[in-house]
Amino acid sequence: MEQEIRVPISSDKNIVNARQKGRSAALAVGFSPGGTALEQEIRVPISSDKDIVDARQKGRSVALAVGFSPGAATLIATAISELARNIVSYAKSGEIVIQALHGSPRLGIQVIARDQGPGIHDIKQALRDGFSTSGSLGLGLPGVKRLMDEFQIDSRENRGTTVMVKKWKQ
Amino acid sequence: MEVPILKQGDFLIATIQAALTDADLLHLRTALLQQVVRSRSRGVIVDVTALDLMDSFASRTVQEIVHMIRLRGAETVIVGIQPEVAFAMVQLGLTLENVATALDLEEGLAYLNQKSKTIS
């Protein structure tokens, strides 16, 4: 992206062409479609079901801005929805932190779900498919692990839980 | 975000138009069940084409809607699950067991018509 883009202007078609080139250049250097620079992380406080939708929608736009396909963005948004849901269900409140990863050579997205809730008593058990403490479908953690490429969890009883996931652009 | 429910003969059609919160989904569940009783409907179509994704809560609620309406004596069919939404659901282990699904509204109507013919 070192080179400059020249667009000769002499008709109304050129106007459209120029603004489209400007938009793609902006996206290429890491601006999101809404115009926010992707350098900074996006923090979404989580305490209600509305925040779950907010977090997954923000995650989807960052994923699209990074260049993930709409399909991959849906996978990422679904993982965020599950992580945010765990915060609301088990810890009442916490936060989701979304960040674009554009260190060479790969592009990707990182999502951190953090709470100061009761923590998970048995992480191994929570990562097993079909396990649930609340009689529901479970924490969804094995599913989140499948949706993303990297998965790390740190949980301490009565101190809280932090889950960090990453997905890389193929 | 309220989901509009339209009455079409013996059937009800609920078209989800945007991302729904948990509260919205629970509201839809109650509203649909009430409408089914009020209109003595034989079938219900829930169109999820515009839904951004289906996580564990959405899947569970949809499953509950289907089962509650079945206990009432009516059939429900879910239409328009997008391919990427389906992909994410399966990765999460959400398979919507015992829930009828169809490609789109038209096929959903055909399914319900066939179902109500076998009953009468």
B110 and chain A: CB distance < 8 Å anywhere? no
Cβ-contact B67, B37 below 8 angstroms:
no
Helix, strand, coil fractions of chain B, as percent rounded to 5: 50, 20, 30
Q: Is A134 helix (H, G, I), strand (E, B) or coil?
A: coil
Write out the H or E segment, with its range, that includes residue A65: helix A49-66
Q: How far is CA B47 from CA A92, A127, A161, B76, in A?
A: 31, 33, 36, 11
Are B88 and A74 within 8 A, CB to CB?
yes
Contact yes or no for A137/B60 (Cβ under 8 A): yes
Question: For A140, which residue in chain B has the nearest alpha carbon?
Answer: B92
ipTM for the predicted complex comes to 0.89
What value does the mean pLDDT of chain B take? 94
Give the pLDDT confidence of A140-152 residue by residue, as tens digits: 898 999 999 999 9
- Residues A49-104 pLDDT 10s: 999 999 999 999 999 989 999 999 999 999 999 999 999 999 999 999 999 998 76
Q: Do B91 and A146 count as a contact with CB atoms less than 8 A apart?
A: yes
pLDDT > 90: what percent of chain A?
57
* Backbone angle region of B82, left / alpha / beta, with phi > 0 → left and psi within -120 to 50 → alpha: beta
What integer is the mean pLDDT of A114-138?
74
Segment B22-44, tens digit of pLDDT: 999 999 999 999 999 999 999 99
Q: Which residues of A touch B (CB under 8 A)?
A: 49-50, 52-53, 56-57, 60, 70-71, 74-75, 77-78, 81-82, 85, 129-130, 136-138, 140, 142-144, 146-147
Structural domains of chain A in order of their starting residue, each with its CATH number: 41-168 (3.30.565.10)
- The correct answer on CATH 3.30.750.24 for the domain covering B5-119 is yes
pLDDT band of A125, cuts 50, 70, 90: confident
